[in-house]
Structure 1
Amino acid sequence: MPSTGLTGSLKTMSLPDLLQWAGGGRKTGILSLKNSSLHKKIYFQEGAIIGSSSNDTREYLGQFMLSEGIITEQQLKDAFDLQARTKVMLGRILVKKGLVSEAKVSEILRVKAEETIYSLFLWSEAEFEFHENELPPGDQVLISIRVEDVLMEGLRRYDTSKKIRQALPHNGVLLRRTAKPLPPDIVAKIFPKRMYDLVDGRRTLADVILEAHASEYNVCQVLYVMVQKGYVEVARGEAPAAARQPADSPQALMEAAKELIKSGDSEGALVILEKARRSAGKNPEMNALIQVAEEHFIDKAYRHYLPPKKIPVLKKPIESLTNQDLSPEEGFLVSRVNGSWDLRSIISISPLREVDALRAFKKLRERGIIDLVEGQAKTA
């Protein structure tokens, strides 16, 4: 019978200690970890890791396929259209369309599960619960990894991430290529070559991460190596201006946010809560309130000002948008506005969370950069 066993936070019990506890105790169950809106799970059977899951958009199967250049955004969009009609799993649709082999899907699903686990080593805060004897869902892809191997790779990534941040201190740095050409062994590798091609002297690191459809660590690790070897350099490295910390107490800000949600201003509540979270530290009540505000915003956005079947169109030539000071998220979405994809299609292929994509689209519409028109989006 499943039951909640060990609970706590990564501040009091580190992830390596948690994994050693589960592995050494030959535990069977699910380790669930929450960090704000992100929720990840690791599945154990008799002390071995047999799988993982995540609600992080960047860790979805389609995003992995895009990051490896296995499919295009158009092919993913078409597959999602078919999935909406047939309810067939994405991997099976891609195989049936002849875009990828079953063996490749299985390989990507394994990599996806491993990457979710390794990403947790970069979390400094999270609440966790271990659910004894609980089993993964029936459709969960199972793997088998020893805890010792996960610890070795996870800690290596943690150490590497600190070195990366010395060379690439924040995601606002502007990158450019040097005159030194890439060697043939890197040119032959799909992912590193794509990262190099995305460095054009105009994109920031944040822009490259979005365009790559990959995890922040994997993108930064490749670019860090290129910086170290002299193929890429930091063209501009000033840190973004620090956000002003809210003067009111977290509790007062939460009360203000609750009133805004009641009045229908869920986006205003999100602005307050996101600022408050920087000074609140571990606060499950605030995280729960943020989730409520996000759900309210998504519902209102689709019902009132961002209908999912409307097609966004640019009101200005894309060449004229270079001086519009677009955020990386806004720039990514604008570059996918093609006059035929509807809002839901663009959001579905985006590495952004649904709420973040909708907030960016709302700003683009309010600034007069896009408009929404009726029309029938093209499907496969």
Structure 2
Amino acid sequence: MRGLSGDFSTMPLKDLVAYLGSRRVSGTLRVTRAGVRKLILLREGQVLSASSNQTREYLGQFLIHMGHLNAEQFAQAHAQQSEANVPLGQILVLLGWVSEVTVRSTLQLKFRETLLDMFRWEEGEFSFDAGAVPQFEGVEAGVELMDIHREGEFRETAWQSLRAAFPSGSAYLEVDESRLPELPRAGSLDATLVERVREGLSIDELVKTLHTSDFLVYQRLYALYRREAIRVVNAPPPGRVRPVASPELEEKVKDLEVGVVGDESQTLELIQAAQSHLENGNFWDGEALARRAHEQAPTPETEALLNSASAALLGLLRRRMLDTPQVPSLRVTAAQLKTTRLTTPERYLLSRIDGKRDVGTILGMSPLGELDALKYFQSFVDTGLVQLKPR
């Protein structure tokens, strides 16, 4: 495909990600907004690298917030990185301070957050240059663009719950010490959050001081809120300490250019719920929950669960739409379709419906994966956009 360029007022990043991901493109995506610059390298629809000039999106920050690295270790690794000109992740693995599995999962989190941060941008410009991307050293990590797109859709719903609990970023919080589930790891994002809440910082100040994404801060606060370990108060608590960033750490981290994904109890709940749905034959919800669990905390267990759930759902959808060829037809007019809010992949599939081609034929023409395409068709049927008739 040729290069693309534009701005988010005409093509939001969410739609751009779906467009590029569905075509499994390779190339370089550059995004800018008000001094913020991001560079994304893609290979066959996967993010291989995501860099930014925002301090909070550097690998070192993620590792520190997740409790995998402390400031002293970071300083030593950074010094060695400067001398050896080797990626930070590789240095940490060689030193034995962080495992390769942890570096890989943290890089994947970093890639997701670098893009998902832009899903809420209403302004900004982008350019995409198609072509091969260079090989680079270091720990290999990749994230499917379509997985990031699905995560973006999930977050749209998640933000509703987060904003219901915390209506304003200017709100202050209070800790109920008796309801803290356990002492978080020293230096982790949870530990720092609780400490800074005790100091009387507002939510906006927490985001700014911690140099991390607002979603991760709100997500962790919400986990504590659900346990009633924190509550919103209208005024700063007595003895409030004004926020002070760590200049030493900030200076060291900002030289690098290259979270907690979710609490363990929440991941376990997702796994158990997914298994329950799968055992009861509800493959649709089981697959969705398994995917969410794996995206939140990728482990061999969640990967195996997701593979099993995906296979079960794919088998079900094949029986419904492929074993006996089904011909889709639109149940709405072209004018109604134009006013319907749809993603780029959805519009692509709907545009291939002519009342003659069956689902299998359309899948053969589509760049989408079989499971993703069948899920879209099932959603078309469920929402009344499309009806299926056996050939």
TM range (shorter): 0.5 to 0.7
Q: How is 1:182-201 mapped onto 2 (pairs within 5 angstroms)?
A: 182-183=180-181, 191-201=189-199
Assess if the C-alpha contact under 8 Å between 1:213 and 1:351 holds in 2. no
Question: Shift of the alpha carbon at 1:227?
Answer: 2.5
Please name the residue that 1:101 is paired with. Answer: 99
Match of 1:8 among 6, 9, 12: 6
Please name the residue that 2:350 is paired with. Answer: none
SS in structure 2 of the partner of residue 158 of structure 1: helix
| Alpha-carbon distance in 2 for matches of 1:93, 1:142 | 13
Q: How is 1:1-380 mapped onto 2 (pairs within 5 angstroms)?
A: 5-136=3-134, 138-139=136-137, 142-178=140-176, 180-183=178-181, 191-210=189-208, 212-236=210-234, 326=242, 328=243, 331-333=244-246, 347-349=251-253
| Alpha-carbon distance in 1 for matches of 2:43, 2:83 | 36
| Alpha-carbon distance in 2 for matches of 1:197, 1:129 | 41
The verdict on how the C-alpha distance between 1:80 and 1:140 changes in structure 2, with shifts beyond 3 A counting, is closer
| Alpha-carbon distance in 2 for matches of 1:26, 1:166 | 37
The verdict on how the C-alpha distance between 1:332 and 1:50 changes in structure 2, with shifts beyond 3 A counting, is closer
Question: Shift of the alpha carbon at 1:140?
Answer: 7.1
Question: Shift of the alpha carbon at 1:348?
Answer: 1.4
Question: Shift of the alpha carbon at 1:100?
Answer: 1.8
**Identical-pair percentage:** 29
Question: Shift of the alpha carbon at 1:40?
Answer: 1.9
Assess if the C-alpha contact under 8 Å between 1:48 and 1:146 holds in 2. yes
Please name the residue that 2:372 is paired with. Answer: none
| Alpha-carbon distance in 2 for matches of 1:346, 1:145 | 27
| Alpha-carbon distance in 2 for matches of 1:127, 1:94 | 35
Amino acid in structure 1 at the alignment position of 2:251: I
| Alpha-carbon distance in 1 for matches of 2:179, 2:117 | 31
Q: What is the CA deviation profile of residues 329-377 of structure 1, one whole-angstrom value per residue up to 9, with x for unaligned ones?
A: xx124xx6xxxx6xxx651147999xxxxxxxxxxxxxxxxxxxxxxxx
The verdict on how the C-alpha distance between 1:349 and 1:19 changes in structure 2, with shifts beyond 3 A counting, is closer
The verdict on how the C-alpha distance between 1:229 and 1:148 changes in structure 2, with shifts beyond 3 A counting, is same
| Alpha-carbon distance in 2 for matches of 1:164, 1:28 | 35
Q: What is the CA deviation profile of residues 76-134 of structure 1, one whole-angstrom value per residue up to 9, with x for unaligned ones?
A: 12322333344343223333433222332223222222222222223222201111114
Length-normalised TM-score, structure 1: 0.57
Instruction: Calculate the aligned-residue CA RMSD, in Å.
Output: 3.5
The verdict on how the C-alpha distance between 1:96 and 1:151 changes in structure 2, with shifts beyond 3 A counting, is closer
| Alpha-carbon distance in 2 for matches of 1:236, 1:197 | 19
| Alpha-carbon distance in 1 for matches of 2:256, 2:204 | 12
Amino acid in structure 1 at the alignment position of 2:118: L
Assess if the C-alpha contact under 8 Å between 1:172 and 1:237 holds in 2. no
* Unmatched 5+ stretches in structure 1: 239-321, 354-380
* Unmatched 5+ stretches in structure 2: 258-391
Assess if the C-alpha contact under 8 Å between 1:66 and 1:72 holds in 2. yes
Question: Shift of the alpha carbon at 1:27?
Answer: 2.4
Assess if the C-alpha contact under 8 Å between 2:5 and 2:126 holds in 1. yes
Larger radius of gyration: 2
Question: Shift of the alpha carbon at 1:196?
Answer: 3.1
